[in-house]
Amino acid sequence: MPRLIAILLLTFPLLVSAQDQYLVDWDEVGEEAINHLVNLVRIDTSNPPGNETLAANYVKEALAAEGIDSEMYALDPDRANLLARINGNGSKRPILIMGHTDVVGVQAERWDEEPFGGLRKDGWIYGRGTLDDKDNVAAGLMLMVMLKRYGVELDRDIIFLAESGEEGTPEVGINYMVEHHWDKIDAEFALAEGGTNTLEDSGITMVQIQTAEKKPRRATLIARGTAGHGSVPRVDNPVTALAKAVAKMGSWQTEARLNSTTRAYFERMAVMAENPEDAFRYANVENPDETEAIQQWFLENYPYHYSVMRTSVVPTIVDGGFRRNVIPSEARAVLDIRMLPDEDVDAFYDTMREMIDDPNVEVVPERIYRPESPPSPVDNEMFETLERVADRVYDNSRVVPRMATGATDMAQVRAKGVPSYGIGATRTIAEINSGNGAHGDNERVSEESVRQLVEYIWYTIIDIAATR
């Protein structure tokens, strides 16, 4: 018996996860994180103009109060990026934690609550940026504070970047950091926004980790013709030409193909689906005998699934004419194009021109502001850690990789060869359909979701970076 006890005592430390070395009062930590989020929301960093330095100063002061040094990096003094680093022993490469401090603008009259009030009400936090992306900024800030307070010994440096300009002006944010200060943020892995957790009606939490994203592109169609009186029809009416071109682009079903992320997504969804019809669709997206019908069903019932399988072309703005009795000499339309990561951009535009097949309609691509970036692996240490920790933090969780149809600043980091993973808040199906999400009126996040997000980041970093 004494020998058995001795053996158990010797082996016990090996049985205790590194995650459980630190006794965390999650109610207290969650409340502190929520307070940081509220304070950040109350700083209006609408882009334009941004004014992200105001938020960066707040984060800098919060870090300094814990004895954590940080630095500002700015192309524009009003639009600073804040960088903090907690050093490990250097036996493994760093991990980069990213969150952007700018937000999209608001139409205040459409909000039920003050968009920059940071109101806490009935378990919710209201305000622009609560979901995009000041919740991740607050969680990253809280992570750094906790690592310092608990004196966590690390095998890796943990880098925290509170960046500016994500909402359309990356030249002052991630582009500036990548092009001029890459040595400060280079890492083995990165964590940022872009993921989403869906609390299903069944009680299952679907943890969707963003491992890929489409590349955003836009083009303007310019139709030209001869101006004249509206009472005299003309064969070169630019409005007519534009309408035909827009109709072709809007109805174009581009080639469907999967990549490593979307293939893994549908494979996992096929196994997880409770509805046999859904399981069949997910399992047969590449079946040549079934795919056409499945894609049409996705288009009509679940457009996200339709979109992740192809490069999408969506007309968003049509502008032509200025008087009802005048044929204009020019008409324009804007196309929002979200390309698959491997799409050949120039070849795609050439195909567009061939399909439009009208010398009077010019296709004018807009500037490229995010680079091509490959999907991040789903079989490496970081993704496996995120899967393992999700099982601990979220009840009845199921993890799937996802490709975002929108865009994030992880594209620039992935393009530099850093596998990057997006995580996010948890929302119910009803909440997702409510219009209270990112960029929407009455944007809000649940307080419980903020607590869980901090817990998720904490246990992930402890698992993958703490010294054993």
pLDDT tens digits along 58-104: 999 999 999 999 999 999 999 999 999 999 999 999 999 999 999 99
Say yes or no: 317 and 189 in one domain: no
Say yes or no: 28 and 152 in one domain: yes
Structure tokens at 256: 């469907």
Residue 6 lies in a domain: no
- State how far the Cα of 150 lies from the Cα of 48, in Å rounded to an integer: 39
Residue 386 lies in a domain: no
pLDDT in tens, the chain (468 residues): 444 444 444 444 443 466 678 999 999 999 999 999 999 999 999 999 999 999 999 999 999 999 999 999 999 999 999 999 999 999 999 999 999 999 999 999 999 999 999 999 999 999 999 999 999 999 999 999 999 999 999 999 999 999 999 999 999 999 999 999 999 999 999 999 999 999 988 888 999 999 999 999 999 999 999 999 999 999 999 999 999 999 999 999 999 999 999 999 999 999 999 899 999 999 999 999 999 999 999 999 999 999 999 999 999 999 999 999 999 999 999 999 999 999 999 999 999 999 999 999 999 999 887 898 999 999 999 999 999 999 999 989 999 999 999 899 999 999 999 999 999 999 998 998 888 899 999 999 999 999 999 999 999 999 999 998
Cα separations in angstroms, 427 against 207, 233, 434, 452, 460: 10, 54, 11, 12, 21
Radius of gyration of the chain (CA): 25
pLDDT at 367: 81
CATH code for position 325: 3.30.70.360
Residue 173 lies in a domain: yes
Say yes or no: 341 and 416 in one domain: no
- State how far the Cα of 99 lies from the Cα of 165, in Å rounded to an integer: 11
pLDDT at 170: 95
Say yes or no: 190 and 222 in one domain: no
Residue after which a domain boundary falls, among 298, 330, 365: 365
Say yes or no: 187 and 222 in one domain: no
- The closest of 399, 224, 438, 405 to 307, measured between CA atoms, is 405
- Tokens 């019908």 belong to 293
Q: C-alpha angle with apex 208: 203 to 211, nearest 5 degrees? A: 170
Residue 202 lies in a domain: no
> Which domain covers residue 347, as residue numbers?
215-365
Residue 131 lies in a domain: yes
Say how many domains are in the chain.
2
- The closest of 378, 453, 464 to 37, measured between CA atoms, is 453
Largest Cα–Cα distance in the chain? 105
Handedness of CA 94, 73, 160, 383 (dihedral sign): negative
Say yes or no: 47 and 152 in one domain: yes
Say yes or no: 153 and 114 in one domain: yes
| Predicted confidence (pLDDT) per residue in 326-342, tens digit | 999 999 999 999 999 99
Say yes or no: 64 and 173 in one domain: yes
Q: pTM of the entire structure?
A: 0.92
Say yes or no: 128 and 241 in one domain: no
Say yes or no: 49 and 180 in one domain: yes
CATH code for position 139: 3.40.630.10
Residue after which a domain boundary falls, among 365, 398, 430: 365
- Tokens 């100063």 belong to 57
Q: C-alpha angle with apex 389: 387 to 394, nearest 5 degrees? A: 95
Residue 113 lies in a domain: yes
Cα separations in angstroms, 295 against 31, 155, 202, 302, 467: 44, 46, 26, 9, 47
